[in-house]
Chains A and B, each alone.
Chain A
């Protein structure tokens, strides 16, 4: 109806013209009264009576004004304004309470926002690519040999690109790039840079656009074409000062002049999606013809055709992959790949789902504890305010009105806390986003966005309702008489009140118990992980990427390696030194190895094996343990001897129950002699089993993929860095300023996701413990205060100090024990749910349970002891005289 619309509009308008309208209606009423008085006078009433009658007939000027306001304006907004004004006044009056409540709540809300942002970025939000649900990662179905079994040869890739029916496009990138694989030569010292080789159509497949210039063109993927590069946005900004004129100009990479064709957008972060924790500076074309003989090295990404389901594409792949040859030039190498399609998003973050959900639940528990705590604080305040509320109800305030008043107070608290929490989350997130050392995908993209703000709003309102409604209902309900009786002082009254608060404290203790046990189990798993025998010693060793130019000559390379290691050994403080092309827990590649006489071409007898091309002394520098035989020596290298050192896994697989030393093995297609066996080294990560490994000398037959000098010394890496760099520069003036990094860093990087989760869950558990103890302290301390008089009487009647103390402590203990009992049952359930996140730790690990329960009980006792002491110091005379 049009009039109601008009009315609504006018109501809003009058809301903003309130003062003027008040003024008008006052004037109207004044003249109304005067008219009435005049009429009464005309009728012959005395002046006094005329005025009185006029007022009686009018019936209350103030009420009329209220009615006028109510019917012309927005009464609920007025009420809200009133409530808010009142809430602010109350909160200001109880300033200490307000500060504590807001801080606790801000911690809870802030932690929730931060964790939600991480969950949102890693799990919920789609990848930052166009139609990212169409993107698929393709790997072998049973990838047991590290990166090499998650990649395909150039020939197989090309065949799949041409023959599949399910993809709009398939492309990939070279998966074996180590950090700092190029050096940027300018006017000053060469700078190490990381460049990724990408196959034709890689960016188009992902749907990534350049912010400047253009993407690669097909003719740039042909041998002997002009070398080109695309720059990542941060590299362009940081190293090249955001120079827009760089596009089209050459830069010097090593000894090659490379033309920059474009700069990618800053929303594209290759590392955070494909290689967590890595920073990538630039991209260059992967020219297929350069890699025809190099085995599996392309990691494949495809974009499904419109309307193509994953199942259809999978069955297409299942048909096609077994038909693909490894190499066209060598059909005798055979054919037969497998291809497992996984949504790119699932591939990147699927493994983290469970951990993140646990984290999310943990932080939710914290908020719950915070709410319970606040409920408790508010209840304590409610007791102090019960007279005020009884009075207001006696004066006619409706129950709903009082609940609304209390909820308004809660909402004001929650809103202030949410703003603070948002600030806290912002700080945490900016810190996390810049932690390159945490190997979690997409973490660099975490930020506060619209979804996060919505979540904040939801959490704040939810929390306010949760902690505000219990005291609200409690205070507004009940019998007025009860309240008035209840608010006498000094007797053990208010049992009902106490029971409610005790229930809340028990809840709090139980929740804290669950958190503590969960955190304890994760912590124990983490300690177990740190305790693992890695097969090498990470401490007191550091590594640096070494640059050299051997012109493709193995003898020259051997001479350089020898000079580098022997010169390094002369640096004071260096105990041992050696070179390897790959380090454990970083990049890896694998070939095949077979016992001679057993090798069939069908690859069945070939064991996939991680390959390391190393210098003599490398095993010693890493403290890898030689179990049998000998290390490589420089004679092996200079005489091009085909020798190999294998690990125990290989020995067990190829020569079970026999001595492998001196036996012949086919390694990487060459016949070699086994000269040593070393203890297994954890290759991919601390928690994975060690795979098959072999170590070969850098001879003509075996080409290294890069070179890392490892130096073992008691000196800290920082103290050695300059002398190591000076030595490398003396040998090769073109050595770029690569970083001298502790080996421990590799291990830390590999364990960083677990460390990240343990740290967060542990922090939450500590927070939970603190809040629970605050809760216990609050309740017990409050009950002591309330019972001061009673305790005084008891002491006057002969109760001893220690008896009073014991009584209070027993009360605390009773609460704690019930809470812990409930908590243990809940913990057993929860522990079973997180069992898959544990490492060599049983979900019902008795040590963890006992430890955590003891911790919780101890803290609870402490929280009860302080009020107990106070109770025992009560002077009966003083207690009885007060009130």
Chain B
């Protein structure tokens, strides 16, 4: 890969985790991490370990729930799933990030035109 990976902005990992759980249902930590890497097309610089801090934070806020279970290949793992509150939060966060992305896009586009003049 020629291009360097993207640094994760504050708070973005939490949204990614929520979104992953929303679409994939119940999933363990490794699964979530892999899923995010795949979905981002390996563009994101993610230390997989950091996902656990995010998971415990979301859990404490009541946005996701966790229970111990067994994985496909019979390994004990903690499975996370999104809660009702978490879904509502995701709707809010999605709207926020889309707005932010839109604004950023517009602002940067304007600067680009200015540069050409």
Binds A, one of B16-24, B55-63, B94-102, B104-112: B55-63
**Does A759 have its Cβ within 8 Å of any Cβ on chain B?**
no
Interchain nearest-CB distance for A234 vs B (Å): 60
For chain A, the count of residues having a C-beta within 8 Å of the partner chain is: 32
- CB-CB under 8 A from A25, the residues of chain B are 52, 56
- Known contacts A3-B62, A31-B77: does B49 contact A60 (CB below 8 Å)? yes
Closest to B52 in A: A68
Q: Which of B57, B61, B63, B78 contacts A28 (CB 8 A)?
A: B78
* Cα-based distance from A10 to B60 in the complex (angstroms): 6
* Cα-based distance from A27 to B66 in the complex (angstroms): 14
Contact check, B75 vs A11: say whether CB atoms are below 8 A apart: no
**Does B53 have its Cβ within 8 Å of any Cβ on chain A?**
yes
Contact check, A31 vs B50: say whether CB atoms are below 8 A apart: no
- CB-CB under 8 A from A32, the residues of chain B are 28-30, 33, 48, 77
Contact check, A58 vs B71: say whether CB atoms are below 8 A apart: no
* Cα-based distance from A4 to B63 in the complex (angstroms): 12
Contact check, B47 vs A29: say whether CB atoms are below 8 A apart: no
Contact check, A59 vs B77: say whether CB atoms are below 8 A apart: no
Closest to A24 in B: B78
Contact check, A67 vs B60: say whether CB atoms are below 8 A apart: no
**Does A882 have its Cβ within 8 Å of any Cβ on chain B?**
no
- Known contacts A6-B62, A31-B75, A32-B30: does B47 contact A70 (CB below 8 Å)? no
Interchain nearest-CB distance for B62 vs A (Å): 5
Count: A-B pairs, CB below 8 Å: 86
Contact with B along A697-712 (1 / 0, CB 8 A): 0000000000000000
Contact check, B62 vs A59: say whether CB atoms are below 8 A apart: no
**Does A631 have its Cβ within 8 Å of any Cβ on chain B?**
no
Contact check, B75 vs A59: say whether CB atoms are below 8 A apart: no
Contact check, B56 vs A68: say whether CB atoms are below 8 A apart: yes
- CB-CB under 8 A from A39, the residues of chain B are 34
**Does A14 have its Cβ within 8 Å of any Cβ on chain B?**
yes
Contact check, B56 vs A72: say whether CB atoms are below 8 A apart: yes
- CB-CB under 8 A from A739, the residues of chain B are none
- CB-CB under 8 A from B33, the residues of chain A are 32
Contact check, A71 vs B30: say whether CB atoms are below 8 A apart: no
* Residues in B1-30 with C-beta less than 8 Å from chain A: 28-30
Contact check, B61 vs A6: say whether CB atoms are below 8 A apart: yes
Closest to A34 in B: B75
Interchain nearest-CB distance for A46 vs B (Å): 20
Contact check, A38 vs B49: say whether CB atoms are below 8 A apart: no
* Cα-based distance from A25 to B28 in the complex (angstroms): 12
Contact check, A57 vs B48: say whether CB atoms are below 8 A apart: yes
* Cα-based distance from A27 to B75 in the complex (angstroms): 11
- Known contacts A14-B60, A31-B75: does B29 contact A67 (CB below 8 Å)? no
* Cα-based distance from A35 to B57 in the complex (angstroms): 23
- Known contacts A3-B61, A3-B63, A68-B53: does B48 contact A35 (CB below 8 Å)? no
- Known contacts A11-B60, A32-B30, A58-B47: does B52 contact A67 (CB below 8 Å)? yes
* Cα-based distance from A32 to B49 in the complex (angstroms): 9
* Cα-based distance from A3 to B85 in the complex (angstroms): 9
* Cα-based distance from A72 to B54 in the complex (angstroms): 9
Interchain nearest-CB distance for A11 vs B (Å): 7
- CB-CB under 8 A from A68, the residues of chain B are 52-53, 56
* Cα-based distance from A31 to B28 in the complex (angstroms): 10
Residues in chain B within 8 A of chain A (CB atoms):
28-30, 33-34, 47-50, 52-54, 56-57, 60-63, 71, 73, 75-78, 85, 89
- Sorted nearest first, the 7 A-B pairs with minimum C-beta distance are A59-B47, A64-B49, A10-B60, A67-B53, A72-B56, A71-B53, A3-B61
Some 24 contacts from A to B, beta carbons below 8 A apart, are: A3-B89, A6-B60, A6-B62, A7-B57, A7-B61, A14-B60, A24-B78, A28-B28, A28-B78, A29-B29, A31-B28, A31-B76, A35-B73, A38-B73, A57-B48, A59-B49, A59-B50, A64-B52, A67-B52, A67-B53, A71-B53, A71-B54, A72-B53, A72-B60
